[in-house]
A = this chain, B = another copy of it.
Amino acid sequence: MPTSTQPPTKSQSGDRSTPGPAAPATMKAIAVIPGQANTMHVRDVPRPAVSDVPDGRGVLVRVLRVGVDGTDKEINAAEYGAAPPGYDYLITGHESFGRVVETGPNVTELRVGDYVVATVRRPGSSIYDRIGTYDMTTDDMYYERGINLRHGFLSEYYVDDPEYIVKIPPGLRDVAVLLEPLTVVEKGIAQAYEIQRRLRVWRPRKAAVMGAGTIGLLAALVLRLRGLEVTVFGRTAAPYLNSELIQELGARYESTVTTPIGEGCRRYGPFDLIFEATGASSVVFESMRALARNGVLVLSSVTGGDRMIEVPADRINLEFVLGNKVMVGTVNANREYFEAGVKDMTHAESQHPGWLGRLLTHPVRGLENWRQLLDTLTNAQGAIKVYCEVAEDA
């Protein structure tokens, strides 16, 4: 008689577990109430299942680590972010790393036990979405796990289609939580090289990276792996951890406290490629003037303010025209940039063993310690990557 309370599908599924408490249907997650500032909290939410994805294509992933960044702070400040339809909360976290625990019957790409990272944006309806380049969507509405209209990864499990889940070699398991931020760099640099195919014989030699935070460090890494001479401009006076990491790559660090960008560019530039990652729009306009002829400036900073600045408009335009220069903005990433990131991480571990791991400065253990996670993200001195250790890799 007690078994009659079980839903019929349960017994039909051939559950071979011994009698006892049913598997919990919920899990813990860190969430916010979009539209209300400072509402971060931990809550019990329904645990996803492979059957949530149609056509037997579900992949259930146990979350191991999730990185946090300025986006998470801004979502908690209710500057943007939206809950999925039917929910009044949004599970945050978009920099994931986990391990496959179950796959639907029609999943051939991944197996139980595989290490994985999920992409963030999900396709809309534009022509760019339809060919897998959802990072180039022209839709007004966009879908991003942990950011806008789709739950994120700061939870015990997530489920998704293998189209959005990228396999990680076991050799990268200790650093793979850095893959999502790395994809910002991978996309920006790939766009620059794609654009420069217009030159037929582009041979970039000197690069500058504006900003020495996580993105700036990863940009310096990738540009060094491409063989470029790299100068990184940061605000903090050297030496400190970030400047040391930059020098270990064989790159140059210049503090703008002692060397203004213009002077640094005269000394070490002009630059064939500049990757802007400061979050300060004034640096964008300074960078325009530091480009070499035929050079390309990649903009990756989200500058949410309303800052007005005075710029030498005639000179900027003239230099762009006479020098055939290019500026390109870049946001988000699609699967191909995650795959490129895996290759560069592998290359990095071979070329600069241990370097990536040194970026993982501030782990916080457990979803229940969300206050500490947020506090570390907001206040920690010298933090490069703050991340939540959601679970041990058993």
List A residues at the B interface (Cβ < 8 Å).
127-128, 131, 133, 135-138, 191, 194-195, 197-201, 203, 281-282, 284-285, 292-294, 299-331
Contact = CB atoms under 8 A, between A and B. Distances in A.
Contacts of A302: 318, 321-322
A321 B300 contact: yes
Given A128-B201, A201-B128, A323-B329, A306 B317 contact: no
Interface pairs A-B: 3 shortest CB-CB: A320-B329, A281-B313, A194-B198
Contacts of A318: 281, 302-304
Q: Interface of chain A, helix or strand or loop or mixed?
A: mixed
B127 A314 contact: no
Contacts of A320: 299, 327-329
B327 A301 contact: no
B136 A294 contact: yes
Contacts of A292: 138
A128 B314 contact: no
A272 to B, nearest CB: 9
Contacts of A317: 281, 284, 299, 301, 303, 329
Given A128-B199, A303-B314, 20 more contacts: A135-B324, A136-B324, A137-B293, A138-B292, A191-B324, A194-B198, A195-B198, A281-B313, A281-B316, A299-B320, A300-B321, A303-B313, A305-B314, A306-B314, A307-B313, A321-B329, A322-B329, A324-B329, A325-B328, A327-B327
Contacts of A198: 191, 194-195
A138 B294 contact: yes
A197 B136 CA distance: 13
